[in-house]
Structure 1
């Protein structure tokens, strides 16, 4: 059976771009302007206060992991107010430990701040799945990953770049797993948190080429047709067939980017009986014909 969450991570191809170790002592505050890209903070030691724009402030403690899918402006600080140092995240020098507050002595807090880059997939896929702030705490597995990230980031050992990339994937999966509940916006993650819908979603992902009907999926979920349709639409934010179409197009875009299959082969792989039917659906969903999309993707690969 297909694992939809693993499929999403494979499409995203996350790579961690680690910016800096950040430490603080005494009274301090740092105000970061809007970044707009997915970023994260891993708490290595101590604790601090995080205030993300338009969200309730929260306390971060050692072992915590925070993911901001769109990274609006935010302030990270000690628990006693202090005049903030203003920083543009696009201009922060990489590779140095940033120290705030008192410059000498053992810090009260050490964290690792970084951002995710994605290999090929549109990062809006991640944004659509997650709440504005993902704060994972009290997870033994996550604490172990955080410890490994800290060791790799500061150790400078051979192969650390590869290790950090794999750890970033695992951190992302843990963050997404933590959101398979009502904390996630309507979408796949919330659907996977529903036992009945999760079974249907796994079947849809396992065989996207099949001509699914709402009645078939309802039987798999052990629900009446009307109950399944209402529950699916409310939980995922779209009707079952609209969700299937959107996922087919995500797979099609990835296959077109790779450039290994013809448009007709991709049409068959994604459940279309003819190339023309696939082209119409793709153009309507993506905004350009599959052939043109593949051409642009090929040009991008050559530039890279």
Structure 2
């Protein structure tokens, strides 16, 4: 498993929301859906991306046909025909579409199978794929991304974008599964290109280091093993001190800190995606008992494994207390 593959284990489309928007200027969409990750593919025409004021705000970005934008949520943003166009439509959580005054528009703007907008022959066509949840193991990926990533048509393999646009409005057997896989491919193609740039985080390049890269893969492939820095160093063929320093320099944290986060992230995803007991999950990710996992889990995430499995957030627990 390479760096990008391991990071993409979390944001894998499973019943992702996918829609083809057909619009005529002037148009402006205010996105407040709180989704952790969204992929927008421009098929025809153009658009502008405007982020909200704040420390992460970026200058308005223009998209042309064939470009892809990746949005890291949950902060709102606007996509419009011009940076100056006032939002006419607001996308809320659950992909509920309303006017700024609160009028529901979902049926009004329905143009057919996964088609939505103001004009079936609109000058602007874009396909949007929304990952409405992301696994805990993907948080390192999400933290690495800026609020908006823009890839131009020539910067990534656009063949998958052509396939996605062709399939987006079909209604064939297992079409949802086909679209999920194509959406993943568009995301991977775009992220592969972005991570190859200089702005990729330093830890990403650590996977290419012959020593640290091997250590990272050993930890990720074998989280249940009773790793120590000494045993890890022995496995990669260097001294304990040499590995500890090089690992911290390239990854940004000590080996055991990386392992702890990885184990707990895997546990969080297993709690949501499987019926395995906490005891069984504890053994899978390298904890000796359910009690040990529960204690570490609560320190890291602020909630117990049971509350996490039931979808309770730390904020909800605080307000209830």
What TM-score bracket applies, with the shorter chain setting the length? Answer: 0.7 to 0.9
CA shift for structure 1 position 163:
0.9
1:195-206 matched pairs, under 5 angstroms: 197-206=212-221
Is 2:33 the partner of 1:35? Answer: yes
Q: Which sections of structure 1, spanning at least 5 residues, go unmatched?
A: 298-304
Deviations 1:124-153 (A, max 9, x none): 565324222122234586411111111111
Verify the 8 A CA contact 2:282 2:289 in the aligned structure 1. yes
Deviations 1:204-235 (A, max 9, x none): 11111223333554566677755654554455
Which shifted more, 3-12 or 149-158?
Answer: 3-12
Quote the residue 1:97 is aligned against.
Answer: 116
Quote the residue 1:55 is aligned against.
Answer: 58
SS in structure 2 of the partner of residue 156 of structure 1: coil
- Give the number of aligned pairs: 287
Verify the 8 A CA contact 2:22 2:120 in the aligned structure 1. no
Is 2:34 the partner of 1:18? Answer: no
Verify the 8 A CA contact 1:179 1:190 in the aligned structure 2. no
Q: Distance in 1 between matches of 2:195 and 2:240?
A: 24
Quote the residue 2:101 is aligned against.
Answer: none
Which shifted more, 3-12 or 219-228?
Answer: 219-228
Verify the 8 A CA contact 1:41 1:112 in the aligned structure 2. yes
Is 2:181 the partner of 1:183? Answer: no
Q: Distance in 2 between matches of 1:113 and 1:134?
A: 14
Quote the residue 1:296 is aligned against.
Answer: 310
Quote the residue 2:316 is aligned against.
Answer: none
Quote the residue 1:214 is aligned against.
Answer: 229
Q: Call closer, same or farther: CA 1:105–1:45 in 2, change over 3 Å.
A: closer
Verify the 8 A CA contact 2:38 2:129 in the aligned structure 1. yes
CA shift for structure 1 position 70:
0.6
SS in structure 1 of the partner of residue 73 of structure 2: coil
1:228-243 matched pairs, under 5 angstroms: 228-233=243-248, 235-243=250-258
Quote the residue 2:68 is aligned against.
Answer: 65
Quote the residue 2:314 is aligned against.
Answer: none
Q: CA RMSD in A?
A: 3.6
2:259 corresponds, among 244, 258, 262, to 244
Verify the 8 A CA contact 1:43 1:60 in the aligned structure 2. yes
Q: Distance in 1 between matches of 2:154 and 2:148?
A: 17
Q: Distance in 2 between matches of 1:129 and 1:149?
A: 26
Deviations 1:15-51 (A, max 9, x none): 32023413345xx351515432122210112433333
Q: Distance in 2 between matches of 1:174 and 1:83?
A: 31
Q: Call closer, same or farther: CA 1:196–1:139 in 2, change over 3 Å.
A: farther
Verify the 8 A CA contact 1:180 1:192 in the aligned structure 2. no
Is 2:283 the partner of 1:271? Answer: no
Q: Which sections of structure 2, spanning at least 5 residues, go unmatched?
A: 98-105, 312-321
Which shifted more, 204-213 or 279-288?
Answer: 279-288
Quote the residue 1:87 is aligned against.
Answer: 89
TM-score (norm 2): 0.72
CA shift for structure 1 position 55:
0.6
Verify the 8 A CA contact 2:29 2:79 in the aligned structure 1. yes
Q: Call closer, same or farther: CA 1:173–1:52 in 2, change over 3 Å.
A: same
Q: Call closer, same or farther: CA 1:295–1:228 in 2, change over 3 Å.
A: closer
Quote the residue 1:132 is aligned against.
Answer: 147
Q: Call closer, same or farther: CA 1:288–1:75 in 2, change over 3 Å.
A: closer
SS in structure 1 of the partner of residue 150 of structure 2: strand
Verify the 8 A CA contact 2:23 2:122 in the aligned structure 1. no
Deviations 1:96-141 (A, max 9, x none): 4324xxx79772x421234112376587565324222122234586
